[in-house]
Amino acid sequence: MQTTGEHPPVAPALDLALVRAQYTPATAYLNTASSGLLPVRAAEAMREAIDAMARGRSLDSLFNDVEEARAAFARIVGVPAARVATGASVAVYTGLIAASLPEGAEVVVAEGEFSSTINPFHVRGDLKVRTVPLEALADSVRPGTALVAVSAAQSADGRVADLAALRAATRAHDARLYVDASQAAGWFPLAEHAAAADYVAAVAFKWLTCPRGAVFFVGPEDPEQLTPVFGGWVAGEKPWDSCYGPVTELARSARRFDESPGLIAYAGARHSLALIEELGPDAVRAHDLALAGRFRAGLASLGREPLPAPGSPIVSVPELGVLQPELHAAGLELSNRAGNLRASFHLYNTPEDVDRLLDALSR
């Protein structure tokens, strides 16, 4: 805990030489909230995996890549690897959680939440899904609430959930907390929160700069709390002995929730995650937030006010979404979300990218 007179710790500087060597954007790419850029080492590993498949070489090393990726994600978010499952879709893991709830259970979600985080609760048809403003989520937990489902950072505008308040509220009412970290893992300090959540899911193709097709799920400390309803051969304690007939022994860890892996995606993911570890999440976070702060300050000088999202590298500007095609033509990659121009700043972005965007908006 910080005491009077102490200065907050200074984040380490981002290794910009390593970033430049591994990420080669052809544009001012300010769209990580949609999809991150692959580092060179991940792209090369995927090409080698494809070549191995094309030439009939052994794929044993690709299965090892899955395990290395699992371990790296666990370290990044601060949980034991035994709590991490690997898959391909956040919605699948939301569905897994939804399947575990009893009929009539109350699930509290935020307004405008990303559909993969909440839709399986709606399609059950026999759950009570209550939608409230994000800022009111913790105060909306009440006796009888079974689960709160929320994104750590909102996709549409970057608002950051108060996970500490949500954990306290869910514990007080014996409810569970499900966090979608898809817009957070890679820049947000998940190591401070993931271990305290009951469930965490995250795609890795955004801020973790992995290939599409790699998804991670942090299950409960006791994996028997969830039934692996989609479990196949990879859910077995000994997968290669579980290929035929019912799986006689489920994995004793979260691996019982694995989906059959997309090996090419995980061949790249292993190297992307290793790079994030090498660069350091704290350094990445400081870099990203500094660029977002520069953009917010520049918007103010232009008389523009973004949607409030303090402490987030995602900045959405109302009414400017219509400019996205024009900015794309000018070599600036952003998103149009609900009419808002969404910029998202990550480790391969520079102050010059921010200034180029501001200059384009000023015209």
- Helix, coil or strand: residue 6: coil
pLDDT above 70: residue 109: yes
Q: pLDDT tens digit string along 331-350?
A: 999 999 989 999 999 999 99
Kindly indicate the confidence band of residue 267, based on its pLDDT and cuts at 50, 70 and 90.
Answer: very high
pLDDT at 2: 36
Supply 85's token pair.
Answer: 């499952």
Q: Which two tokens stand for residue 88?
A: 């391909």
For residue 114, give the amino acid letter. Answer: F
With 90 as the cut, is the pLDDT of residue 86 above it? Answer: yes
Q: Outline where 173-280 has alpha helix (H).
A: 263-279
From the CA atom positions of the chain, what is the Rg in Å? 21
Percent of the chain predicted with pLDDT > 70: 98
Amino acid letter at 209?
T
150-191 pLDDT tens trace? 999 999 999 999 999 999 999 999 999 999 999 999 999 999
145-151 and 176-180 as β-strands: parallel, antiparallel, unpaired?
Answer: parallel
Residue 282 binned pLDDT confidence (cut-offs 50, 70, 90): very high
56: left (phi over 0), alpha (psi -120 to 50) or beta: left
pLDDT tens figures, 206-261: 999 999 999 999 999 999 999 999 999 999 999 999 999 999 999 999 999 999 99
pLDDT in tens, 14-58: 999 999 999 999 999 999 999 999 999 999 999 999 999 999 999
Nearest Cα to Cα of residue 76 among 68, 66, 65, 88 = 68
DSSP string, 69-126: HHHHHHHHHTS-GGGEEEES-HHHHHHHHHHHSPTT-EEEEETT--HHHHHHHHHHSS
Q: Under CATH, which architecture does the 16-39+280-362 domain have? A: Alpha-Beta Complex (3.90)
DSSP state for residue 164 in the 8-state scheme: H
Architecture of the CATH domain 47-278 = 3-Layer(aba) Sandwich (3.40)
Output the pLDDT for position 338.
Answer: 87
User: Which whole-number Å values give the CA distances from 55 to 50, 60, 62, 148, 253, in the listed order?
Assistant: 9, 14, 14, 48, 34
**pLDDT score, position 163:** 97
Residue spans of the domains in the chain: they are: 16-39+280-362, 47-278
Q: Do 247 and 233 touch, CB atoms closer than 8 A?
A: yes
Mean of the per-residue pLDDT values of the chain: 95
- Tallying the residues shown for the chain, one arrives at 363
Helices 60-77 and 263-279 cross at an angle (nearest 10°) of 40
264, 46 in Cβ contact below 8 A? yes
Q: How far apart (Å, rounded) are the C-alpha atoms in residues 63 and 251?
A: 16
Going by pLDDT thresholds of 50, 70 and 90, the confidence category of residue 352 is: very high
Reply yes or no on whether the pLDDT at 75 is more than 90: yes
8-state DSSP, 243? S
**Could you tell me the maximum CA-CA distance found in the chain, to the nearest angstrom?**
66
